[in-house]
Structures are given as C-alpha cells and as structure tokens.
Amino acid sequence: MLDANSSAALTHDRELLEAAVRDAGMLALGLFRTELKSWIKGASSPVSEADIAANDLLRTRLEQGSRDYGWLSEESTDELARLDREKVWIVDPIDGTRSFLAGRDDWCVSAALVERGAPVIGVVFAPASDECFVAVKGSGATLNGAPVAATAGYALEVSRLAGPKPLIQRLLPPDHEAVPYPRIGSLALRLCRVAEGRIDAAFAAGASKDWDLAAADLIVHEAGGWATSLAGEPLVYNLRDVTHGILVAAGRERHAHIVEHFRNRPLP
C-alpha cells in the first residue's frame, strides 16, 4: 500500500510520462511519410531525424519533471550513472523505425519508469492508429482509457500467435504449417496486442533491449499476463547489460503452458 506522498509522486510521474509520450508521438506523426534523413547505426539498426527529435523532446520533458531520475534511451549515449539511480526513465523514441520509414502504421513511442529494476509506469503510444496503452503497477492497464485484459485459456491458435515463425512452429506438431498473425514491426506494440487480447501470445527473438520491453512488459502484466524469458524468468531492467534473450508474452495460463512446452522441448 502506497503512502500519500508515494501515491502523489506516482500520479505526477504517470501524468508527466503520458503527456511527454503523446507529444513525442505527435511530433513523430508530423514527420511520418515525409522526406527524412536516415542512417544505420551499429550493424543494421536504422535511425532517422524523427527518432532523434522525439528522443530530444522526451528527455527534455522528463528530466525537467524529475531531475534526480536516471536516463536510458535507444537514441542516447548510455550514461552508466543510471546504475546508481533508484528510478530510471527507459525510452524508445520510435520503436519500429523500419516500419516508420517504410510508411507502415506498426510503430510507436514506448517509455517506462523503472524502479529498482522493475517497471512501475509504462506508456506505449501508436500515433498512426491513435492507440495509447498505459499501465501503473497495481492499477491495471488501459487502451485509450478503457481497461484491457489478456485472453485466458491454454489454446494455441496459430493465427493468434505473433513473432518469429521458427518459435511458433516449434509449438506445433512437426508437420503442421504455421501461418501466424501478420508481422508487427514494433516489439512493444506486439506485446501490447497481447495485453488487449487481440492476439493470444507473442514471441521476441534474442537481442531485444530494455527500451523495447520495459513499458510493454508492465502493460502485459497489469492486463493479467506475463512477459518473461522462454524459461519463465522475469525480466530485470537497468542492469549494465540491457540485452535480453528469447521472450514470450501471454495470458498467465497460456504463458505457463508455453513455458512448460519449451521446458520439455528446448531449443537446439
């Protein structure tokens, strides 16, 4: 049970985060399907002017409203001082940049407040479809203000599973052809589709990062699901290494069934 001061601080941070994410999303939407400078960072990750502009807006707004919190973003140099902070903003200014640059709608702004390694507030805003998912620890998850819930049960209908086809295929009988849910370019949005019950389960290949996951992880959890490693281990954020392995998200009954399946039939 939160005391009055903690509750007031959480409300302030939620309002601050949701407003900043919405404004960053509308900024990015104004640049969507326009001529933009883009380039490749690292081995193959695209980034554009819109990513940087949204990142700058988010950092300015969030740091002005909470000067003692740490910062971790896909589009900022990692400042390891975050490891000493109890609370850290974890941000992906545009999750699904490939989709954004290709003119597809499956991208979003994703941001979370993480406290002692666990998300306590998460906001995922998909401006092109005007969908805003919000969750606060212990208070449920909403889509545009209406409560959402992950689907119950154990059934594995292939058309309602999303993620890499080899992982989905491994859930099925050996000769069953997988035709999963159409690809969702943003991982955060893919997980939110589980939270709202549009799909039953979603997978992520290895090498996803804190900023891809933190907000959507909380949204799935508050919608009655789990997002964990394939072995069922909870995700921990704001460590020195922010990379995660293969993940699965689903309603809790189905999640347990999938984790047990992979325990009995591990990946090679």
Give the DSSP per-residue string, 93-159.
EEE-HHHHHHT-S--EEEEEEEETTEEEEEEEEEGGGTEEEEEETTS-EEETTEE--PPPS----GG
Q: Do 253 and 208 belong to one domain?
A: yes
Give pLDDT tens digits for 29-78. Answer: 999 999 999 999 877 889 999 999 999 999 999 999 887 999 999 999 99
- Answer with the one of 118, 147, 176 that is the final residue of a domain: 147
Torsion, Cα 154 160 162 167, to 10 degrees, reads 50
Give pLDDT tens digits for 201-214. Answer: 999 998 999 999 99
Q: Do 194 and 250 belong to one domain?
A: yes
Domain containing residue 89: CATH number? 3.30.540.10
Mean pLDDT in the chain?
94
Q: Do 250 and 170 belong to one domain?
A: yes
- Answer with the one of 147, 181, 208 that is the final residue of a domain: 147
Q: Do 136 and 184 belong to one domain?
A: no
Q: Do 122 and 184 belong to one domain?
A: no
pTM: 0.95
The boundaries of the domain holding residue 31 are 4-147
Say which DSSP state 234 is in: B
The yes-or-no verdict on residue 156 having pLDDT over 90 is no
pLDDT, average across residues 236-248: 97
**What is the pLDDT, as a whole number, of residue 143?**
98
Q: Do 179 and 98 belong to one domain?
A: no
Does 250 fall in a domain?
A: yes
- Number of structural domains (the chain) is 2
Does 230 fall in a domain?
A: yes
Q: Taking the CA atoms of the chain, what radius of gyration do you get in angstroms?
A: 18
Give pLDDT tens digits for 170-218. Answer: 888 777 777 889 999 999 999 999 999 999 999 999 899 999 999 999 9
Domain containing residue 178: CATH number? 3.40.190.80
